[in-house]
Amino acid sequence: MEKKLILPEVLAPAGNFEKLRAAVRFGADAVYLAGRRFGMRQASENFSLEELAEAAEYMHSRGKKMYLTVNILPHGPEYPALREFIRECAKIDIDGYIVADLGVIAMIKEINPTADIHISTQASIVSPEAALEYIKLGATRLVLARELSLREIRAIRDALPPDVELEAFIHGSMCVSYSGRCLLANVMTDGRDGNCGTCSQPCRWNYTIYEEKRPHFPIPVEQTELGTFFLSSRDMCMIQHIPELMESGIDSFKIEGRMKSAYYTAVVTNTYRMAMDAYTKDPANYEFDPAWMRELDSVSHREYATGFYLDDPMKEPQLVRGGHYIGEKAYYGTALETESPEAQAELQAILDMKVDLENADGRLYRFMEKNKVRAADPAEIISPGKTGRFFFVGELYDTAGRIRANIPHPQMIFWARVPFDVAPGDIMRVGTKR
């Protein structure tokens, strides 16, 4: 009997509401997010209790899921506040709690016995034996350690009950301590504990080595003109290995990046969505589209690697050869709705200047500016299920109907002529003509 191909979940990061909405629009099946405390990314904006309730309603009204990270390793004095937080969260329809600490698991099961428990990558699950023990504690999903090969993941999958799900990171920043159990931040900074959500990423700093008896004389061990980065890990990117991932037994493909931009969330989610859908539609004739790699090259990242999935890191080093990020393409703006009375009044002001809504060069669409955009700039539109569509920005108008040479201010509403259909939520970015 032919094995049925199950489409894994696309799980996107949501550091705030803007990123959550971008994730949903561009194809995420679920998002993971955190409250203002007790998650591993406290530098992100995160969500108040009221915002968590609003986010849950937003996701569920669209048939999507929302998972809450409560994955710090809390110290004793933090437990009373954590208990109160869990009590309040129990009033919200949360689809799963991402947890690493045994005490927190017990607390959630006590307060909310029917809650789904997802064991965080912080727990460093690398064997079927460990996985089975967490299942005994009530886990319904296991977020696997990042040190596993696809072969090892398959072995874990085969050892588990079929109703227990596996989740794994497939894209984004990696730690030197891959599963996030790193003590450098605590040692190198003033009490910023990476296991309590305040990691300062000292693994990505530029270091100089000193010899013990010569503290005033740095030892030159430069790898590049940028310095020596002997701790920094490359970013993970598995877009070229969708077939292998799809056959591995992973139920949820997780994208790292709650502290990245909404543009990052949209582009990365959209790209993996397109690749996974293409494979699911016709596995036998699936072909990798180089345009997907160009999309992922357009977001902020370090050199890409495949982590432990395919390579032996001892044979294929995972460290960056330079300390810099590859920058994101400029995010010009987001398309807005045009049917509201306010939008219609803006459009009428433009039409009153004897401007056509639609002509041979395209149609006028409404945007909110993110970065300065000029008339005639090369640009691209990013839409769900599509890679960037290239065009040159047509005329620009402000909300009073005046033609503009540029739109200079963030959050400024403007109208631009685009030669193809644009829908609310689509993204305009700097373009590269190919």
Domain edges within the chain:
9-181+231-305, 331-430
**CA neighbours closer than 13 Å in the CB half-sphere of residue 312:** 2
Question: Cα(153)–Cα(238) distance, rounded to whole angstroms?
Answer: 15
Question: Cα(414)–Cα(405) distance, rounded to whole angstroms?
Answer: 12
pLDDT confidence of residue 262: 94
The strand pairing partners of 233, in sequence order, are: 319
Query: Would you call 147 exposed, middle or buried from its count of C-beta atoms within 10 A (0-12, 13-18, 19+)?
Result: middle
Q: 43: closest CA among 230, 198, 202, 160?
A: 198
pLDDT confidence of residue 328: 83
**Residue 378: helix, strand or coil by DSSP?**
strand
pLDDT confidence of residue 226: 47
Q: Would you write out the chain's pLDDT as a tens digit for each of its 434 residues?
A: 344 567 899 999 999 999 999 999 999 999 999 998 776 555 557 899 999 999 999 999 999 999 999 988 888 899 999 999 999 999 999 999 999 999 999 999 999 999 999 999 989 999 999 999 999 999 999 999 988 999 999 999 999 999 999 999 999 987 665 556 565 665 566 656 555 556 666 666 666 667 677 777 665 555 554 444 455 567 899 999 999 999 999 999 999 999 899 999 999 999 999 999 999 999 999 999 999 999 999 998 888 888 889 866 555 555 555 556 677 899 999 999 999 999 999 999 999 999 999 999 999 999 999 999 999 999 999 999 999 999 999 999 999 999 999 999 999 999 999 999 999 999 999 998 76
The pair of three-digit structure tokens given for residue 384, joined into one six-digit string: 């769900």
Query: Would you call 315 exposed, middle or buried from its count of C-beta atoms within 10 A (0-12, 13-18, 19+)?
Result: exposed
Question: Cα(95)–Cα(89) distance, rounded to whole angstroms?
Answer: 11
Question: Cα(37)–Cα(40) distance, rounded to whole angstroms?
Answer: 9
Question: Cα(311)–Cα(25) distance, rounded to whole angstroms?
Answer: 34
78: Cβ–Cβ under 8 A, 6 or more apart, which residues? Answer: 38, 72
Q: 128: closest CA among 114, 145, 111?
A: 145
pLDDT confidence of residue 228: 47
How many CB atoms are closer than 10 A to CB 364? 23
Q: 381: closest CA among 397, 398, 357, 363?
A: 363
CB-CB contact of 69 with 89 (8 Å): no
pLDDT confidence of residue 1: 35
Q: 92: closest CA among 140, 48, 56?
A: 56
Q: 142: closest CA among 95, 133, 151, 76?
A: 133
The strand pairing partners of 406, in sequence order, are: 374
Question: Cα(171)–Cα(148) distance, rounded to whole angstroms?
Answer: 15
The CATH superfamily of 331-430 is: Translation factors (2.40.30.10)
Give pTM, 2 decimals: 0.86
Element (H, E) at 379: strand 378-382
E strands in 259-328: 304-305
Note whether 9-181+231-305 and 331-430 share their fold. Answer: no
Fold classified for 9-181+231-305: TIM Barrel (3.20.20)
Question: Cα(233)–Cα(229) distance, rounded to whole angstroms?
Answer: 9
Query: What DSSP line would sit under 216-242, residue for residue?
Result: EEEE---SBTTB--SSPBPEEE-GGGH
Determine how β-strand 139-143 pairs with β-strand 117-119. parallel
The pair of three-digit structure tokens given for residue 285, joined into one six-digit string: 């004739």
Question: Cα(167)–Cα(252) distance, rounded to whole angstroms?
Answer: 5
Distance between first and last Cα of the chain: 45
CB-CB contact of 64 with 30 (8 Å): yes
pLDDT confidence of residue 359: 96
Per the document, the length of the chain is 434
